C-alpha cells in the first residue's frame, strides 16, 4: 500500500495519492490544494493527459483561448499538448484531484517541489522554486510557455 507524500510544488500543496509504480505506469492520482490567487505558469504536457475534478473552491482554467470557471463537482480534461494554466480565483483554498495518464507527472512534482506536510499552507512560488521548475521541465516533457 502506498503512503501519501506531500510536496510543495509551484505554490501548491500536492498530495501524491497513487503513483505510476502502483499502476504499471498507467496513471497517477494527485490531490492539489491551491491558495487564493495562485496560478500555474502557462504550460503544456507532452506525455500525459490531465483530468481535473474540483473538490472545493473555485478554479479557473485557461486553454485554447477560452476561460472556464470550475467549482465543486466540475471536471475538465486537458489533452496532452494542449497549452493551459490553472488558477484559484476564489477567496479560499481550492482543492482538486488530478488524474494523469500515463503516470510520470508525479516524478516531476517530486523533483521540482519540496517535501512538505499536510498542515503546511501552500504559498506563491518564490524565484528559487520557479527556477527549479524551469530547469526540470524539459526532462519531464513539460513545456513552459510565455504568458499570452
User: For residue range 109-139, what is the model confidence (pLDDT) as tens digits?
Assistant: 999 888 865 555 555 666 776 677 777 888 8
- Tell me the C-alpha distance between 60 and 63, whole Å: 10
- 78 with 84: CB under 8 angstroms? yes
* Average pLDDT across the chain, whole number: 88
DSSP 105-139: HHHHHHHHSEE--TTSPP----HHHHHHHHHHHGG
Q: Percent of the chain having pLDDT more than 90?
A: 64
- Tell me the C-alpha distance between 11 and 73, whole Å: 23
pTM for the predicted model, two decimal places = 0.87
Amino acid at each position: 500500500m502506498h503512503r501519501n507524500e506531500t510536496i510543495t510544488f509551484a505554490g501548491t500543496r500536492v498530495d501524491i495519492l497513487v503513483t505510476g509504480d502502483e499502476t504499471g505506469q498507467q496513471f497517477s492520482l494527485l490531490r492539489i490544494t491551491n491558495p487564493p490567487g495562485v496560478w500555474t505558469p502557462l504550460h503544456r504536457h507532452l506525455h500525459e493527459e490531465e483530468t481535473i475534478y474540483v473538490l472545493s473552491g473555485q478554479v479557473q482554467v485557461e486553454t485554447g483561448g477560452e476561460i472556464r470557471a470550475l467549482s465543486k463537482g466540475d471536471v475538465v480534461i486537458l489533452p496532452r499538448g494542449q497549452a493551459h494554466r490553472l488558477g484559484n480565483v476564489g477567496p479560499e483554498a481550492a482543492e482538486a484531484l488530478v488524474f494523469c495518464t500515463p503516470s510520470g507527472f508525479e516524478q516531476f512534482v517530486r523533483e521540482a517541489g519540496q517535501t512538505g506536510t499536510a498542515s503546511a499552507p501552500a504559498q506563491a512560488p518564490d524565484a528559487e522554486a520557479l527556477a527549479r521548475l524551469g530547469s526540470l521541465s524539459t526532462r519531464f516533457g513539460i513545456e513552459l510557455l510565455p504568458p499570452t
